[in-house]
Amino acid sequence: MHTENPAAFCHSHSTVLAPAGSERRTWLVVFITGLTMLVELVAGYWAGSMALVADGWHMATHVGALSLAGLAYWYARRHATSRKFTFGVGKIYALAGYTNAILLGVVALAMIFESVMRLREPVKIDFNVALPVAVIGLVVNLLSMLVLGAGHHHDHHDHSSTGSGQATHDHEHQDHEHDEHGHHDHHDHHDHGKHEDHNMRGAFLHVAADAFTSVLAIGALLAGMYAGWNFLDPVMGIVGALVILRWGWGLIRSASRALLDVVPNQAMADEIKSEIESIGDSRVSDLHLWELSPGRFGCIVSVVSSAPLDAAEYRKRILEHAEVNHLTVEVTKCLPEVPVLTP
């Protein structure tokens, strides 16, 4: 019977993102956006501006979407250390981002429908009311982008992790050695690419889409006021919707990759395999690399060798070349290859 404390071999499943202000910034933008939404909707219907109404309804859906992003941060924070989740709750960020991308698509389609209806049945626009409100909406959107932009930038480069350090637990069973709970939390390895918080990206895209539609609305209103081109108002609604659809599709693709556990960085996987296979006759028979949460990776490696090293040594070599937060190494000893003698 061993005498070591099992707690020494445990590792953290914490998935709370840094910077810690992401949740606070998100709720601040929800409040600002909600107030602006009410002003734009009331002014847009009063003035008869489709571009302004579209911007208002677009902003209304963003209030819900941004609230979803805020709830995702809250949920992840509350369940950061829960043992009910196998690899933590990091996937909540990708799930919220994916859902927000779907909402972006729904809003864009609704904008296209309403704009087409306005092209068929034009309405009179009160430019003196609509234009100032559109400008206010743009200023608010730019301010919101500035608030979220700090977190959006840092989430690509600055991720802190919490954990219990490194631990190795080796045992033998049918010529297998397993490092069941390998964990690493240092950040002194090679940079294998940016770490993307899909939740923050979704929130940021919603605000950016609002700013974009505000710019289009202002341009359409100015053209209508000074050139009489009132048709540009619904046309800009369609143009804005198409751009938003493209943004949403990009977010769906990136978030779905995280949800489906697509290899987040092939270069990292190749480097891990290359490092292992540089040791004697060791060969990687199986390798799984996936994203636990933005900037945090899980990895399972199966190694086959006729003269294997201790699992802890393989693990040490991997962590020297790749930033992996949850590492499991399985080592199988096989018979050495017997040369065939020819007469």
289 inside domain: yes
The pLDDT-based confidence of 111 (bands split at 50, 70, 90) is confident
The tens digit of pLDDT for each residue in 131-157 reads: 887 788 788 888 888 888 755 544 444
64 inside domain: yes
| Spatial separation of the C-alpha atoms in residues 293 and 195, rounded to whole Å | 9
pLDDT at 79 over 50: yes
181 and 106 in one domain? no
The pLDDT-based confidence of 82 (bands split at 50, 70, 90) is confident
Expressed as residue numbers, the domain containing 288 is 166-193+262-337
342 inside domain: no
Please count the structural domains in the chain.
2
Q: Given 3-state DSSP classes, what are the helix, strand and coil percentages for the chain, each rounded to the nearest 5?
A: 55, 10, 30
Last residue of a domain, one of 205, 229, 259: 259
The tens digit of pLDDT for each residue in 271-319 reads: 999 999 999 999 999 999 998 887 789 999 999 999 899 998 999 999 9
179 and 36 in one domain? no
> What's the mean pLDDT when you consider all of the chain?
76
229 and 182 in one domain? no
CATH of the domain at 329: 3.30.70
- pLDDT of amino acid 303: 95
152 and 84 in one domain? yes
User: Are 136 and 227 spatial neighbours (Cβ–Cβ below 8 Å)?
Assistant: no
pLDDT at 254 over 60: yes
The pLDDT-based confidence of 10 (bands split at 50, 70, 90) is low
Give DSSP secondary structure letters for 193-212.
S----HHHHHHHHHHHHHHH
Phi-psi region of 320 (alpha: psi -120 to 50; beta: other; left: phi over 0): alpha
125 and 64 in one domain? yes
284 and 148 in one domain? no
- pLDDT of amino acid 228: 84
- pLDDT of amino acid 18: 44
28 and 123 in one domain? yes
230 and 87 in one domain? yes
pLDDT at 183 over 50: no
305 and 285 in one domain? yes
Residue whose pair of structure tokens reads 């779905």 in the numeric block: 256
1 inside domain: no
CATH of the domain at 48: 1.20.1510.10
| Spatial separation of the C-alpha atoms in residues 201 and 255, rounded to whole Å | 10
Question: What average pLDDT does the segment 335-340 reach?
Answer: 60
pLDDT at 178 over 60: no
Last residue of a domain, one of 259, 275, 304: 259
Last residue of a domain, one of 259, 287, 313: 259
The tens digit of pLDDT for each residue in 317-332 reads: 999 988 888 899 999 9
The pLDDT-based confidence of 208 (bands split at 50, 70, 90) is confident
| Spatial separation of the C-alpha atoms in residues 157 and 175, rounded to whole Å | 41
131 and 77 in one domain? yes
- pLDDT of amino acid 181: 40
- pLDDT of amino acid 278: 92
- pLDDT of amino acid 180: 40
The tens digit of pLDDT for each residue in 226-250 reads: 888 888 878 888 887 888 888 888 8
189 and 318 in one domain? yes
